[in-house]
Amino acid sequence: MNKNYNHLCAQEARLYRLNHLQEMSSWDQATLMSKKGGRSRAEALAELSGIIHDINSNPKVEDWLKKASKEKLDFVQECNLREMKRKWKRKKAVPTALVMKKRIAASLCENEWRVQRPANDWNNFLRNFKPLVELCLEEADYLSDALSISPYEALMDGYEPGLTEKKIDEVFGDLKTWLPTLIKKVVKKQRKEFVLDLEGPFPTKKQKSLCLEIMALLGFDFASGRLDISTHPFCGGVPDDVRITTRFDKNSLLEPLFGTIHETGHARYEQNLPKEFINMPVGQSRSMSIHESQSLFFEMQLGCHPLFLKKISELIVKTFGYQDAFSHDNLAKLVSRVKPSMIRVDADEVTYPAHILIRYEIERMLIKKEMIPEDIPSMWDEKMNFFLGINSEGNFKDGVLQDIHWPEGLFGYFPCYTLGAMYAAQWYKILETKFGKDSIDRQVYEGNFENIFTWLRGNIWHLGSIYETAELTKRASGGEDLNTSHYKKHLESRYLYSNL
């Protein structure tokens, strides 16, 4: 019975188990590993990657996939097979020699970038980056041929399967028409606002207990996960043992708190993936954008919701004692403060998409061979000025060199951040429509998220990768595709029309 399909499943189950070891060792590396333990950890992880690679390269897979298509599969099995084929097509498209060459080039580029960035050394960075881009272009060409999509689509497809250039151009094209104006308007509006700064210090231990309390309120399952500390916050581990991290700083309260809420969104998606297919591709999270839509839903739609801030305000006062600055309306002003700046990861909700548009517009041209890496700085300055009114000339460190993605050879990844923000706004809008805005407002105010979570569970979490993103979106949205107007309205209503 379904012999070929079962072979494929057995292989996927193995990969899932090995991925478990990889996730846990990587998590440990980022959180607890001893200072001198790095070399042997890297070697152990490389060994594991090799084993995973060998399993992935099993020459029988092609035949299994072909024959499995003719076996009697049920609906979910069909979806599972579709996902297996997708992964395999991408893997088979690129010659192993190219994969290796790219990995070495990326590793070199990233390694030296760690020194070149603080030294603001664009010229030496370029020397490693140019050959890396060449290899990425080659890879994109191979993928493009195999998948019959454009090279840039082929790269995006690695993070957001099925996303077309037409769609992204439409969505980001629309965004570009109104974002710069919105930023200017918000900055102008906020100029008149009076905001109190929080008065620290905020002891780490108390911050952690506050984070744990809010995670619990947001439904994090502590029997299936933990909160720890790392330099760069992330969500790792496996669905039944999700490891999220944050970074505490005794002078900063809101950043670690909202960072934790963000990771909690990722975590709940993972913790609620369909248990019965958990070790199969179909049981895994849909895509980068959908994942980010969960973290941003938690952080921006719920966490920063002016009504939920009342709850957060209470908890902060309970934990740290009273300050005028802890009032919910002051907190609302603090978390919605808009200030154009050079650094993406520190950006507020309104200027963040501008950073993404800059990356997107440049990487798209690079991959379409409409520009060469040498031209990035001037292009960067021009766009930085256009979107954010910032003069970035000569500051490569806080400009193109600020992020690790490109030095790692990741192109087509950045758009997912803003797609996630757009999806998050759309999910919230759907909930308002479904339950009525007043009712949802009241539930958020009371911290009573059951309806919201039930909806997310049924429409996103529990579906894993059963549907492709477009189908998932339409089913969740009553037939509607991704629609930027929800996102626009969300930003306008929170940043222009709210009366805090």
Residue with the two structure tokens 């200030």:
339
Q: Does 204 bind a second copy (CB under 8 A)?
A: no
Q: Specify the stretch interacting with a second copy by CB under 8 A; choose among 136-144, 172-180, 233-241, 458-466.
A: 233-241
Q: Does 226 bind a second copy (CB under 8 A)?
A: yes
Is-contact 443 431, C-beta < 8 A? no
Is-contact 471 406, C-beta < 8 A? no
Contacts with a second copy: how many residues (CB under 8 A)? 34
Please give the helix or strand (H or E) that residue 5 lies within, else none.
helix 3-31
In angstroms, give the least distance from the CB of 48 to a second copy.
6
Torsion of CA 37, 41, 43, 46, to 10 degrees: -160
Residue among 10 and 100 whose Cβ is closer to a second copy = 10
Residue among 35 and 70 whose Cβ is closer to a second copy = 35
Integer Cα distance of 28 and 435 in angstroms = 42
Q: Does 238 bind a second copy (CB under 8 A)?
A: yes
Q: Does 119 bind a second copy (CB under 8 A)?
A: no
Q: Does 21 bind a second copy (CB under 8 A)?
A: yes
* Dihedral sign computed on CA atoms, order 283, 289, 292, 296: negative
Residue among 25 and 498 whose Cβ is closer to a second copy = 25
Q: Specify the stretch interacting with a second copy by CB under 8 A; choose among 39-47, 118-126, 306-314, 484-492.
A: 39-47
Integer Cα distance of 278 and 490 in angstroms = 34
Q: Which two tokens stand for residue 177?
A: 């028409």
Instruction: Give me the helices (H) in 321-414, please.
Output: 328-335, 352-367, 376-388
Q: Specify the stretch interacting with a second copy by CB under 8 A; choose among 36-44, 125-133, 440-448, 456-464.
A: 36-44
Residue 43 known to be catalytic: no
Q: Specify the stretch interacting with a second copy by CB under 8 A; choose among 24-32, 281-289, 341-349, 453-461.
A: 24-32
Q: Helix (H) and strand (E) counts for the chain?
A: 20, 3
Q: Does 240 bind a second copy (CB under 8 A)?
A: yes
Integer Cα distance of 286 and 159 in angstroms = 9
Torsion of CA 414, 420, 425, 427, to 10 degrees: 160
* Dihedral sign computed on CA atoms, order 79, 83, 84, 89: positive
Among 2, 20, 108, 190, which residue sits at the site for a second copy (rule: CB under 8 A)?
20
Which residue in 263, 292, 299, 349 is the catalytic one? Answer: 263
Q: Specify the stretch interacting with a second copy by CB under 8 A; choose among 11-19, 59-67, 254-262, 382-390.
A: 11-19
Q: Which contacts (CB < 8 Å, 24+ apart) does range 327-335 have?
A: 329/500, 330/195, 330/196, 331/254, 332/304, 332/306, 332/498, 332/500, 333/193, 333/195, 333/500, 334/195, 334/198, 334/254, 335/254, 335/258, 335/304, 335/309
Q: Which amino acid is at 138?
A: E
Integer Cα distance of 44 and 424 in angstroms = 38
Among 3, 6, 10, 17, which residue sits at the site for a second copy (rule: CB under 8 A)?
17
In angstroms, give the least distance from the CB of 57 to a second copy.
16
Integer Cα distance of 83 and 89 in angstroms = 10
Question: What is the x/- site pattern for a second copy, positions 48-87, by CB under 8 A?
Answer: x--x------------------------------------
Q: Specify the stretch interacting with a second copy by CB under 8 A; choose among 40-48, 91-99, 117-125, 245-253.
A: 40-48
Q: Does 224 bind a second copy (CB under 8 A)?
A: yes
Among 6, 10, 40, 251, which residue sits at the site for a second copy (rule: CB under 8 A)?
40
Q: Specify the stretch interacting with a second copy by CB under 8 A; choose among 73-81, 218-226, 294-302, 460-468.
A: 218-226
Residue among 53 and 166 whose Cβ is closer to a second copy = 53
Q: Does 394 bind a second copy (CB under 8 A)?
A: no
Among 72, 197, 223, 479, which residue sits at the site for a second copy (rule: CB under 8 A)?
223
Residue with the two structure tokens 């979806």:
79
Integer Cα distance of 348 and 296 in angstroms = 12
Residue among 37 and 203 whose Cβ is closer to a second copy = 37
Among 2, 11, 41, 247, which residue sits at the site for a second copy (rule: CB under 8 A)?
41
In angstroms, give the least distance from the CB of 266 to a second copy.
16
Q: Does 11 bind a second copy (CB under 8 A)?
A: no
Question: What is the x/- site pattern for a second copy, positions 147-176, by CB under 8 A?
Answer: ------------------------------
Question: What is the x/- site pattern for a second copy, positions 263-292, by CB under 8 A?
Answer: ---------------x--------------
Is-contact 319 206, C-beta < 8 A? yes
Q: Does 464 bind a second copy (CB under 8 A)?
A: no
In angstroms, give the least distance from the CB of 398 to a second copy.
32
Q: Which two tokens stand for residue 61?
A: 């897979």
Q: Which two tokens stand for residue 412?
A: 């087509």
Integer Cα distance of 443 and 445 in angstroms = 5
Among 3, 103, 114, 222, which residue sits at the site for a second copy (rule: CB under 8 A)?
222
Is-contact 332 203, C-beta < 8 A? no
Residues that bind a second copy (CB under 8 A): 14, 17-18, 20-21, 24-25, 28, 32-37, 39-41, 43-44, 46-48, 51, 221-226, 238, 240-242, 278
Residues acting as catalytic residues: 263
